[in-house]
Every structure is written in C-alpha cells, then in structure tokens.
A and B are shown apart, each in its own frame.
Chain A
Amino acid sequence: MDSRVNVAILGPGNIGTDLMYKVLRGRRIELAMMAGVIPESEGLARAASLGIATTAKGIDPILERDDIRLVFDCTGAKYHRAHAPRLKAAGKIAIDLTPAAIGPYVVPAVNMGEHFDSPNINLVTCGGQATIPIVAAVSRVAPVAYAEIVATISSKSAGPGTRQNIDEFTKTTARGVEIVGGAAKGKALIILNPAEPPIIMRNTIYCEVEKPVDEAAIRDSVNRMIEAVRSYVPGYRLRVPPLIKDRLVTTMVEVEGAADYLPRYSGNLDIITAAAVGVAEKLANHIVQGMQEANHV
C-alpha cells in the first residue's frame, strides 16, 4: 500500500510557495494540489511547472478530492474562518498558518502528541514557534511562574498583515507561551529592525522559575529541545545558552531560513512553514500507522 498521505496547499503566496518546496521534500506527505484564486499567480505557475495539479478556483477542487487528507491554509485569518468548517465537514484536517486560531495551538516539538485527533491545528505565531519550545524546555525541569519573550525580526520580513495587527502577534504569542510553553503567565514583545543587510530572526526567552534550579538540568533540557526543533527547522540555533541568575533563566536563539523560496534572513517565516510540515509529517505518520493497524486486523 502507498505509505504517503496526500496534502494540498491553499494560498499560493510567499508563504504557500515556500511551504510547497518544503512539502516536496516530505517523507510521508505528497503534494496533490496547490489552490489559489488568481490564475496568473506566480506560486501556481511554479507548482504547475513542477507537475503539481493546480487550480485557481479556490477551496472547492480540494474539497472534491477525497484522497486529500491534510490541507495547509496560507490565506488569511478571515478566509480561514470560512474554510475551516468546510474542511472539517469534508473530513480533512486543516493546518492553519493564519492567525485565525480556530484549532488548538501546536508547536511540533512540544505538544503535537496531544492533538492527533483535532480537525484543525493552529501554529500560533512565528515568534511562538521560535520561543515556546524553550519555555517548555525550562518548564519541564522547573515550574515557570512567568515567561517573557522578545522576538526581533528584520523589517523586510514583516508583511502588511503583521504590521497592521501587531497586537495580534503579542497577544497570541503570550497565550501560546502559557498554554503550550507551560508558563503560569506569559508576555511577548516584538521589535522590527530595519538594518541592511537584513538581520536574521533572533529571540530572547526569559523564564522566571519558582524555585532554585539545577543549572545542568536546564541546559540539558534546552539542548535536547533545540535538537528536537532542528529536526524540522535546520536553521534553529542556540545563540546564548541558558544564563541563570537567581531565579531568572535567559536564553537566546536565532532562526536562519532555509531559503527554499523566501530569503535566508526571514527565519521568522521559515519557521512557521517548517513547523507546518513538521505537523503534517507527524499527522501523516499517525494516519499511516492507523491504516496499517486496520489492515492487520
């Protein structure tokens, strides 16, 4: 039997196109369709030239294909709100890269296991994907009373969506730090830096722990987490290892993009497309295992 799961991408813009190149390298997933609404879109043209089925008729052609099990939505929060119930009704799992936040927040290295049965998965924010793993790495060793993250990205990699609604970034990321990272209270700051050449995404994670901590245990936990994230985001690196002073643990990470389609400095965009593929691979594994078990009965 075929051990790959068919997936589709909805929204062939910058994010969707970058995602396409990552999906094409997938082990368990097969890109069955790329869907948009503008026939002359560059993303659709690129997909077609690679022999991928394309459509400019939006979501409908995807809904008609029973073989497609997972759908990445790279359109926008407003559009995803309309797509979500239709995908659910068609029995497809939505992997939401918009800030619509209909499904539970998922960071693949942290809590994917809890959400295999969810019809909709939300990827928090780029800053959340970059920083929540570190909060989780600290909180699994020592309870975190308060975590604060600072994401600094190049101005060039912040699109109009982020710029017009910057509160959505800070609020969603702070909630993710609490719900997925395990901090009792979370706060997020975002800073845009216009330096040329553009800086790569860098993040500082401050965790205030409840009691004195074992430094070696924290460092070991963070190192293991970095490796787990690197399995799907190769450009994720520790910049400053956990510095511990009293109850404050300060860690810094940077994210260099894989430059599949988007430039290398936009690690903030890369990490969310990479996380989407990380989620899809884990879901595909789960689906394939389920089918194999069913066959054995």
Chain B
Amino acid sequence: MSKRIRIVDTTLRDGMHSVAHRYTPEQMAGIAAAMDGAGIGTIEVSHGDGLGGSCIQYGRSAASDEVYLKAVGAVLTQARLAVLLLPGVGTKEDLDMAADLGAQVARIATHVTEADISEQHLGLAKRRGMEVMGFLMMAHMAPVESMVRNAEQMERYGADCVYVVDSAGYMLPEEVMQRVAALKGALQCRVGFHGHNNLGLAIGNTLAAIEAGVDVVDGSLRAMGAGGGNAPTETLVAVLARLGIETGIDLFKCLDAARLVEPFKDRARQGAEATLMLGYAGVYSSFLLHTARAAERFHLDAREILVELGRRRVVGGQEDMIIDVAYELSLKAGAE
C-alpha cells in the first residue's frame, strides 16, 4: 500500500456538533490557521448541519455561515475551503454565497436513498467551478444496490467524488469494505469515507475503507464531531505514516493544531454511554446533545429514547423526533 490518501478535515463542520455550533469566528480562524500550516489540504467550515443549518431544530451557531467563511478564508494559505449543504435545509443561495466567499469544495449531502434531491445543488456547485463531493448519509440504512444507484445519480449530476457516510457510527469494518468496494466498482469518480466513532471504530473503519480502495477520508482534530466524533485527524496521519501512505500532513504540526481544540473537548466527552447507544441503535450522531437535553427535560433515560428512535428508523435531520419520542415516553411513564 504505497500510495497517497487525501484527508478532508471536518473539525470546523462536524466538530461544530461537539460544541453545539458555538465556536466563535476567531476560534475557528485560529484552528484553521494551524491546520493550514500543518499541511491539511481541505478544511470544511459550516454549521454542523451544513449551510443554513443554524436554526431551532439543530441549534443556532454563534455566528452566521458568512462570518465563519470570511474568518477562515482570510487565514488559509494553501488549504482549500470546503462547505457542506443538505438540500431541504440549505438552499442554492447559501451555496452561491459560499462560492462568492471563495469556497472551492462543495459537499452536498442527502440520506442514502434520496440522491435525486441534490441535482440542482450539485449542478450549481459545478457551474461555480467548485470541486463537488456527494455525501450519502446513513449509508447503513439502505441495501448496497440502492446505495450504488444513488451514488451513480450523484456522479451523473456532476460529483467528482461520492462518499459512504456512516452517520450513525453503526458500521463494522467488513460492511465499510463492502460498500466502498461496491462504489469503486460502479463509479468513474473518486470515492470517500466518513466515519463516526460511536462504537470505537472510526480509525478501524477508515483503514478498512482504505483497504477497499477509497480515495478520500474524513478526519477531525481530537475526533471532534457529532456523537462519538470522527476519526481523529492526528491519529490518521500517524497511522497512515506507519502504513507508508502519504497524506502531505506534518504530524507534529497537526498535533499542535489538535491542542487548540483540547479546551473544547470536555463538553464533547459527556455521555459516553449515550454515544455508544447511537452506534448500537443506528441513530444519527448529531442527535447526541439533543437527546441528552430531552432526557433531562422529560426525566427519561437517554438510552431508552435512542433505542426507540432507532426502532422508528428516523433519518438524519429529524431532531424534532427526539421531542416527539420523549414526550410519548413521558406520557407512558406517567401512566404507569
């Protein structure tokens, strides 16, 4: 395995979930500058739920997308600025704004079976000259053939890369390999993998994806990300170096950058048990903090809420279902 793997860092996007979307633009710029200096080539910046995601349903960010993009864009010297957009949440106007502010990579995310809602957004990003990555979220929820059909659609709409996204941190290494291999076999474009560490498998699953031929992988400093977080970028750099795989990232400088997020880490460590339950029940990782809040408000066990959400096959973005389920469980508990 002597080759090169590209790492996209999502500390300032998925990692926003760990801080309830409250990084200040100055904090973001500081972390981004350190990552840029370490040689991280692509840095994603958005609300955790993508452009336009600042709202009651997902939590309001400390600043607007525009302010964050300006702050980070100003400090980058070599890294490409990336944004995430979920059709149904963000709009084409948001994407245009990001392109105007210099975002060079657009990641367009849909539930694994709903790629056809991304056509206009992928098309717009392409016309704006951006590199376009399609994100198939909650990949574990659809049969492999269905995932492949949706990936093919995204490629047809213009994606330069399509990701297998294990949003619930539910997948096992073998399942990751199977899905990545299926996409590598079906697509002309590149294939990516984005893992979550809910079952402690983010690094292992990323290695499985690499074994299966993946081209791009996601990481975040100190694993900052929804639920149990993502594959830690600094660990990826070290592990890939041992495997003889080039990442273009300086390990020491990457570790220095990771120190900058350390102060925010305590908050993210809350609820290790609930984190495991996300992965076990197959529930969208960003539900973690919302579930903890609902458990407190309705005097429930967060584990119970998560199992019920998994049973109902709730998809990404349905944070309101947490209140729905908690309300119903609290009525039942009251009746008992």
Judging by beta carbons under 8 Å apart, are B320 and A194 in contact? no
A189, B323: Cα distance in complex, Å: 17
Stretch of A115-123, A148-156, A273-281 with 4 or more beta carbons under 8 angstroms from chain B: A148-156
CB contact list, B70-99 vs A, under 8 A = 87-89, 91-92
A187, B52: Cα distance in complex, Å: 10
Chain B residues lying within 8 Å of A24, measured Cβ to Cβ, are none
Judging by beta carbons under 8 Å apart, are A148 and B56 in contact? yes
| Mask: chain A, 193-224; 1 = CB below 8 Å from B; 0 = not | 11100000010101010000000000000000
Chain B residues lying within 8 Å of A191, measured Cβ to Cβ, are 88, 315, 317-318
Chain A residues lying within 8 Å of B57, measured Cβ to Cβ, are 148, 150, 189, 204, 206
**Closest Cβ neighbor of B119 among chain A residues:** A164
Contact (A170, B91) CB under 8 Å given A150-B320, A189-B57, A243-B323: yes
Q: A275: shortest Cβ distance to chain B, in Å?
A: 22
Judging by beta carbons under 8 Å apart, are A167 and B120 in contact? yes
| Mask: chain B, 123-156; 1 = CB below 8 Å from A; 0 = not | 0000000000000000001100000000000000
Judging by beta carbons under 8 Å apart, are B315 and A250 in contact? no
Partner of B116, one of A150, A163, A239, A245: A163
Partner of A194, one of B88, B113, B312: B113
Chain B residues lying within 8 Å of A167, measured Cβ to Cβ, are 87, 91-92, 120
Contact (A164, B120) CB under 8 Å given A150-B57, A155-B114: yes
Judging by beta carbons under 8 Å apart, are A206 and B88 in contact? no
Q: A203: shortest Cβ distance to chain B, in Å?
A: 9
Judging by beta carbons under 8 Å apart, are B120 and A194 in contact? no
**Contact of B314 with A by CB under 8 A:** yes
Q: B43: shortest Cβ distance to chain A, in Å?
A: 26
A70, B114: Cα distance in complex, Å: 37
**Contact of B304 with A by CB under 8 A:** no
Contact (A152, B56) CB under 8 Å given A167-B120, A240-B324: no
A192, B111: Cα distance in complex, Å: 8
User: What number of B residues sit within 8 Å (CB to CB) of A?
Assistant: 29
**Contact of A165 with B by CB under 8 A:** yes
Q: A260: shortest Cβ distance to chain B, in Å?
A: 27
Chain B residues lying within 8 Å of A239, measured Cβ to Cβ, are 324
A73, B324: Cα distance in complex, Å: 36
CB contact list, B23-80 vs A, under 8 A = 55-57
A189, B53: Cα distance in complex, Å: 9
CB contact list, A122-136 vs B, under 8 A = none
**Closest Cβ neighbor of A205 among chain B residues:** B320
Partner of B327, one of A164, A189, A243: A243
Judging by beta carbons under 8 Å apart, are A208 and B315 in contact? no
**Contact of B117 with A by CB under 8 A:** yes
Partner of A208, one of B56, B142, B313, B321: B56
- Count of A-B residue pairs with CB < 8 Å: 83
- Interface range for A: 20 to 34
A243, B91: Cα distance in complex, Å: 29
Judging by beta carbons under 8 Å apart, are B120 and A190 in contact? no
**Closest Cβ neighbor of B112 among chain A residues:** A194
A171, B94: Cα distance in complex, Å: 12
Q: B316: shortest Cβ distance to chain A, in Å?
A: 8
Judging by beta carbons under 8 Å apart, are A195 and B113 in contact? no
Chain B residues lying within 8 Å of A228, measured Cβ to Cβ, are none
Contact (A163, B313) CB under 8 Å given A204-B57, A208-B56: no
Judging by beta carbons under 8 Å apart, are A240 and B323 in contact? yes
Judging by beta carbons under 8 Å apart, are B318 and A193 in contact? yes
Contact (A189, B55) CB under 8 Å given A163-B116, A252-B324: yes
Q: B186: shortest Cβ distance to chain A, in Å?
A: 20
Q: A252: shortest Cβ distance to chain B, in Å?
A: 6
Chain A residues lying within 8 Å of B113, measured Cβ to Cβ, are 155, 194
Chain A residues lying within 8 Å of B297, measured Cβ to Cβ, are 245
Contact (A187, B55) CB under 8 Å given A163-B116, A193-B315, A195-B313: yes
Judging by beta carbons under 8 Å apart, are B315 and A194 in contact? yes
**Closest Cβ neighbor of B312 among chain A residues:** A195
**Closest Cβ neighbor of A170 among chain B residues:** B91
A148, B54: Cα distance in complex, Å: 11
Chain B residues lying within 8 Å of A169, measured Cβ to Cβ, are 88
**Contact of A248 with B by CB under 8 A:** yes
A56, B91: Cα distance in complex, Å: 38
**Contact of A259 with B by CB under 8 A:** no
Partner of B88, one of A148, A170, A240: A170
**Contact of A53 with B by CB under 8 A:** no
Contact (A163, B320) CB under 8 Å given A148-B56, A206-B57, A243-B327: no
Q: A167: shortest Cβ distance to chain B, in Å?
A: 4
16 contacts between A and B (CB under 8 A): A148-B55, A148-B56, A150-B57, A152-B320, A152-B321, A163-B117, A164-B119, A165-B120, A166-B120, A169-B88, A170-B91, A189-B89, A193-B313, A195-B315, A243-B327, A252-B323
Q: Beyond the given A150-B318, A195-B312, please list 17 additional residue pairs across the A-B interface where CB-CB is below 8 A.
A: A148-B55, A160-B116, A164-B116, A170-B88, A190-B88, A191-B318, A192-B88, A192-B111, A192-B117, A193-B313, A193-B314, A204-B57, A206-B56, A206-B57, A240-B327, A245-B297, A252-B320
- Residues of A at the B interface (CB closer than 8 Å) are 148, 150, 152, 155, 160, 163-167, 169-171, 187, 189-195, 202, 204, 206, 208, 239-240, 243, 245, 248, 250, 252
